[in-house]
Structure 1
C-alpha cells in the first residue's frame, strides 16, 4: 500500500522506502538530510540502514511499535528534503524511488512450543504486546524476515520448513546449547562440518551453522 507521499509504502507495521546511491558519501548525505528533516523526533521514529548502493529508511513509533500520524508527517518531510536527490538517485526523472521489500516466513504448526523453539533458534523478539502462540516473531535488528505461525490439521500436507541460520561461532554455540536445554530433537550433529540440525515439535528443521572467524 502506497502512503505518505511518493515512494513510501506501508509494509508490516512500518513506513519504508529505499533510495539508490552511487557511493557511501552520497548515502551519508541522504541520511543526514533525513535526520535533519525529522528534527527532534528522529530517535523516536526513524531507522536507517546504509549500504554502498542503497539507503533504506523506516518510520515507526518506537513507543507504540506502530505507524502514527507523526510518521506520515515525517515521511512527507523527508521526501521534500530529498526532493531531486530521490529522482536522481533512482535514475528516474518522474516517479517514485524503489520501496523496500520484506520477506516473511510462515511456519505450519499445531504445537504452541514451536514459537518458543524458533524464538530461541533465531534470537528474535516477540512483537510488543503479543501473547498468542500464533503471534509473529520479529528481528530486533530489522534485517531478517518476520516469522509467522499458521495452524494446520492432519489434512494439510507438504514438507516441513527448513531454515539455515549462519551466525558467529560464540552465538551459534549459545543457541545450540539453548536448544538442547529446551529439549529440541537433534536431527543431525555434525562436529566435523561444524553444524547441528534440530527439529521442532511439528517436524520443521533448523540448521545452526557457525560462521568462520
Structure 2
C-alpha cells in the first residue's frame, strides 16, 4: 500500500543512495559530461520509474548535471512509492556507470522559497498568485496556503503572518532548503563572507542569517519539524 511518509523516514531510506529530502521531495544531482549523456540519464530514470514516471518524476537536464526529483504529484507529498522509485532509479543508473550523488566539490541539490510577511495574508495572496501566474498545490488552496509556479521554474512562495507592522525591516526574505548534512558548511561560509547569525533558536529546522545591512535569509532543513 502506498502511504505518505515522514521526513525522517524518507531521509533515512535514501541517504546512502545520494538522494536528499527537500521540501516534500526527494532530489538527487547526477553528474554528466554532456547534454547527450544527461539525456541518457533521464531516459534511464524514466524507464526505471515505468508507469509511475509521469506521476512522480521530474528532471532538470543540464550539460554538467541532471537533477532528478521525486514526489507523488497528485498529493504534493512524499510517499513510500517515491522511496521505491528512488532505489530503482539509482540501481538503473549505476548499471550505466552513473551515481545519484554530486561529485566532490560540486554543489548538491537545494530548493529556494520566498517568504512574504503580511498582516492579512488572505488580502495579498490573490495579488501574488495573479501577478506571478502562480497556482496552488493540490488540495491546498486555502486563503493562507503557499503558491507555486505550475511550470516549476520559479521558487515557491509562502506567507508568514505578522501580528503588527514592522517598519524599517525587510518583509520579503529568502528561505533556502539545503541538505541537512551540508547546512553547517553553508552557514560557516556565509559568516566568513561577512554575514551574521541572527538566530539559531529554531535550529535545526532553520537558522536566520543576515548580511551586513540586515537583509535576512533562512537556511532550512527537514530536521526538527516532525
Answer yes or no: same fold by TM over 0.5: yes
CA contact (8 A) 1:65 1:128 kept: yes
Match of 2:135 in 1: 125
Per the TM alignment, residue 16 of structure 1 is displaced from its structure 2 partner at its CA by 1.2
Per the TM alignment, residue 98 of structure 1 is displaced from its structure 2 partner at its CA by 5.8
Which of these two proteins has the greater Rg computed from alpha carbons? 1
Structure 2 unmatched runs, 5+: 1-6, 175-226
**Cα distance, 1:62–1:160 mapped onto 2, change above 3 Å:** closer
Match of 1:56 in 2: 67
Matched, 1:86 2:99: yes
Match of 1:109 in 2: 118
Task: Give the TM-score, by structure 2 length.
Answer: 0.63
Match of 1:134 in 2: 144
Structure 1 unmatched runs, 5+: 164-213
Deviation readout 1:100-130 (Å, 9 max, x if unpaired): 2101111000122211111011111112112
Task: Give the TM-score, by structure 1 length.
Answer: 0.66
CA contact (8 A) 1:4 1:73 kept: no
Per the TM alignment, residue 162 of structure 1 is displaced from its structure 2 partner at its CA by 9.0
Count of aligned residue pairs for this structure pair? 158
* Secondary structure in 2 matching 1:33: helix
CA contact (8 A) 1:7 1:98 kept: no
What CA distance in whole angstroms lies between the structure 2 residues aligned with 1:146 and 1:47?
A: 16
Matched, 1:74 2:88: no
What CA distance in whole angstroms lies between the structure 1 residues aligned with 2:57 and 2:141?
A: 26
Q: Which has the higher contact order (CA 8 A, sep 6+)?
A: 2
**Cα distance, 1:153–1:24 mapped onto 2, change above 3 Å:** same
CA contact (8 A) 2:119 2:164 kept: no
Deviation readout 1:46-83 (Å, 9 max, x if unpaired): 11111121211111123222111111000011111112
What CA distance in whole angstroms lies between the structure 1 residues aligned with 2:35 and 2:165?
A: 52
